[in-house]
């Protein structure tokens, strides 16, 4: 009888506890392999499970997970007649499925990060007098617009560090606001609602896959906030 190896005894969530093992084998695919493995185990698809590490299969999974998330958000937008799909949601969704156990992909960091981006962008519109101006794409780039964009990005970066909520796509969100693409409070509320909906869908998919996706805060973030950084 063949002796059981460590690989045989590994549970679906162990690749996330040992990320470097997966990164050395598949440096391009991040944690996506573990997400896909868990989903295939739940779906009882043995052929796909045997081939889940192949790039075409991972690409198909990335395509399908994107279809589910953005399809749901887009369908809601079509039903309500409100703009719920925004450019900054794309990189957020990629983080959710490419590196779901990273701190930047945690629900708290995604929601708080985008909220910071929205608040910083709108604050800079107010202080530069651009709340009722048209978007920079049609009105041109003026000195107040340059100040709004620069200051909003700087505020977003600083506040995310201060609040321990790093989420890089929030930088795109603050530019959406400070460049005048979305300026009204109802539209900003819709943007935030889209972020929350996308985060909830990603959490559901990752947990169905058996990924130890946090309900709110990543464990690494909790450990970091327990230490003094200065």
Residues 64-105: tens digit of each pLDDT: 888 888 888 888 888 888 878 889 999 999 898 888 888 999
The answer to whether the CB of 36 falls within 8 A of the CB of 57 is yes
Phi, psi of 48, rounded to the nearest 5 degrees: -65, -35
Task: Give the per-residue pLDDT at 158.
Answer: 97
Token code pair at residue 213: 């996706």
So where are the chain's domains? 26-215
Task: Give the per-residue pLDDT at 16.
Answer: 40
The answer to whether the CB of 38 falls within 8 A of the CB of 211 is yes
Q: Which residue has the higher pLDDT, 36 or 152?
A: 152
Q: How far apart are alpha carbons 101 and 117 in whole angstroms?
A: 22
Helix-strand-coil split of the chain, %, nearest 5: 70, 0, 30
Q: Which residue has the higher pLDDT, 85 or 12?
A: 85
Is the per-residue pLDDT at 52 higher than 90? no
């Amino acid at each position: 009888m063949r002796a059981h190896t460590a690989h045989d005894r590994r549970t679906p969530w162990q690749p996330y506890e040992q990320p470097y093992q997966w990164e050395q084998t598949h440096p391009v695919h991040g944690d996506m392999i573990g997400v896909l493995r868990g989903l295939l185990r739940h779906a009882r698809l043995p052929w796909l499970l045997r081939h889940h590490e192949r790039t075409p299969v991972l690409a198909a999974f990335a395509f399908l997970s994107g279809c589910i998330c953005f399809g749901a958000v887009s369908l809601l937008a079509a039903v309500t007649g409100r703009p719920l799909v925004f450019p900054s949601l794309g990189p957020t969704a990629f983080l959710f499925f490419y590196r779901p156990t990273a701190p930047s992909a945690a629900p708290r960091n995604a929601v708080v990060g985008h909220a910071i981006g929205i608040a910083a962008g709108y604050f800079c519109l107010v202080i530069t007098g651009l709340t009722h101006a048209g978007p920079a794409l049609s009105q041109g780039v003026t000195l107040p617009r340059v100040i709004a964009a620069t200051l909003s990005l700087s505020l977003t970066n600083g506040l995310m560090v201060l609040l321990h909520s790093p989420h890089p796509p929030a930088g795109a969100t603050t530019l959406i606001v400070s460049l005048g693409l979305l300026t009204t409070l109802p539209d900003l509320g819709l943007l935030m609602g889209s972020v929350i909906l996308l985060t909830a869908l990603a959490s559901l998919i990752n947990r169905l896959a058996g990924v130890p996706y946090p309900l709110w805060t990543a464990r690494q973030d909790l450990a970091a906030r327990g230490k003094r950084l200065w």
